[in-house]
Structure 1
Amino acid sequence: MPLTQSIYESAEALNTEFAAEIAGKLATGIAERGRASLMVSGGRTPLPLFKALSHADIDWSKVDVSLVDERWVDESSDASNTRLVKDNLLVNNAAAARFIEMKSAEADAADAVIACEARLAAMSQPFDVLILGMGEDGHTASLFPCSEQLAAGLQMDSGRVCIATQPTTAPHQRMSLTLPAIVASRNIYLHLTGDKKRQVLEDAVANATATEKPIVAVINAAQVTLKWAP
């Protein structure tokens, strides 16, 4: 499917306008279905967006928030996306939202897949807003081209919402949404900044297969809106 692109002059402009757009989608979900759901990614790129969004004037008590993927580490770790979201998004007005954690006490993420799926099943679905990032290797969520679990994660008829993955080019075991869970979302965004990421994306779309650059699998299967600034 074609990639819809929203290009901004600056990251500040992107974050301000994107936060307003997300808030509008969540408000619509609340108005139409009683609750709304927001799935977010970790990393450095979304931090200013999270801070802007946390001030949105919506009924956050009717919003469920969770993660597109999580590193299988304790929340005390700097690598924890849970920690990142709690510190940067679930503050100010957004502190009233209900957070659904991916991470649980199991030592092996593979032993926690069914329980994670059960927690996410309590959220309003299809997810109202899902925000992806992308690595320089073309991975998105924790669907890595180097991971032996990639084929299972990309299988559209798997019936799975979550999958445990173990990248070989990045630290930590992960829990990730599967491709079918991602593409079922009502509004799917790819949030990138910088020329390098834009070039990786353009090269992936033009030249790579879904297994070589997993972001291509999402773009091929769903309507995705790119939010990009230099």
Structure 2
Amino acid sequence: MAAPSSIHAFEDGHALAASLAVRIAEDLRAAIEARGEASIAVSGGSTPKRLFERLSHETLDWSRVTVTLVDERWVPDTDERSNARMVEALLLRHNAADAEFVPLYVEAATPEAGIGEVRARVAAMRLPLDVVVLGMGPDGHTASFFPGGDRLAEALDIANTAQVVPMRAPGAGEPRITFTLPVLLQARSLYLHIEGPDKRVVLEQAEQAGSPLPIASVLRRAQHLEIYWCP
């Protein structure tokens, strides 16, 4: 059985970002103290922009931190839709400029063609991840677990030993690459960052028994999940 999720509600996105940045920084410092290094996987989209800005100013030994993405569109970081581009522009600067970044995109025509190289990059990281920050779309997707995804069942399979898989779905736009659910659930600290009343409604739908929304797989299986939300 999954542990109950904790919901932290804030007045606005600025207050949320400030609080979550402090929590994440505490997690990263604790990981460095315990193991000499720390890792964090973040999500793309527009929601985490304020969080990245606040986190980039947190004081810790960023040279011991590895940053990667929960998932990525299969586009280079020169593309405005690249998650890596946003991380590089908003997070990997100020104090966080010293962090190591592990992108999930490689120069290959498709994620299927590049999956071997991406898996090698991930294998070189120390797992489990210390921090994972998930987002959620209005269709209930998280990471690249899209409704109708061609490899959704594989990505959500708790017994799957693959750490990353390609994903194509009608609502995904470009082909994607994503960490699988088992890797995300193993994170030492797992957060879900959502904003807006519509996202709260989707979350409530996902909490219903038997919900088919992909985020429901996280809610059902996560042993520890803290939800940060604001209207």
TM-score normalized with structure 1 length:
0.96
Aligned counterparts of 2:216 and 2:225: Cα–Cα separation in 1:
11
What is the TM-score normalised by the length of structure 2? 0.96
> Counterpart of 2:83 in structure 1: which amino acid?
N
Distance 1:170 1:32 in 2: 38
Taking the aligned partners of 1:136 and 1:59, their CA distance within structure 2 comes to 36
Q: How many residues get paired?
A: 228
Q: Is the 8 A contact 2:146 2:172 kept in 1?
A: no
Tell me how far 1:179 sits from its aligned partner: 0.7
Structure 2 Cα separation of the partners of residues 55 and 121 of structure 1:
29
Stretch moving more, 214-223 or 88-97: 214-223
Whole-angstrom distance in 2 between the partners of 1:181 and 1:125: 8
Q: Which amino acid aligns with 1:185?
A: A
Which residue type is aligned with residue 71 of structure 1?
A: R
Q: Which residue does 1:166 correspond to in 2?
A: 168
Q: Are the counterparts in 1 of residues 139 and 147 from structure 2 also a CA contact under 8 Å?
A: yes
Alpha-carbon deviation of 1:208?
Answer: 4.6
- Inter-CA distance 156–207: structure 2 relative to 1 (3 Å threshold): closer
The equivalent of 1:17 in structure 2 is: 19
Separation in structure 1 between the aligned mates of residue 226 and residue 121 of structure 2, nearest angstrom: 27
Aligned residue for 1:146?
148
**Alignment partners' CA distance in 1, 2:87 and 2:119:** 19
Unaligned 5+ runs, structure 2: none
**Aligned partner of 2:74: which letter?**
W
Over aligned residues, Cα RMSD in angstroms? 1.0
- Report the AA paired with residue 217 of structure 1: S
Counterpart for residue 214 of structure 1? 214
Alignment partner of 1:64 is 2:74: no
What does residue 54 of structure 1 align with?
A: 56
* Uncovered stretches (5+) of structure 1, i.e. residues with no partner: none
1:51 partner letter: E
Deviations 1:104-163 (A, max 9, x none): 011110122232122122223210100000011111000111112101111111101001
CA distance in 2, matches of 1:125, 1:29: 12
Q: Tell me how far apart the structure 2 counterparts of residues 3 and 82 of structure 1 sit (CA, whole Å).
A: 29
Match of 1:184 in 2: 186
User: Could you report, residue by residue, the CA deviation over 1:197-228 in whole angstroms, capped at 9, with x for unpaired residues?
Assistant: 0111111111553xx21111111111211001
Q: Which runs of 4+ in 1 moved over 6 A?
A: none
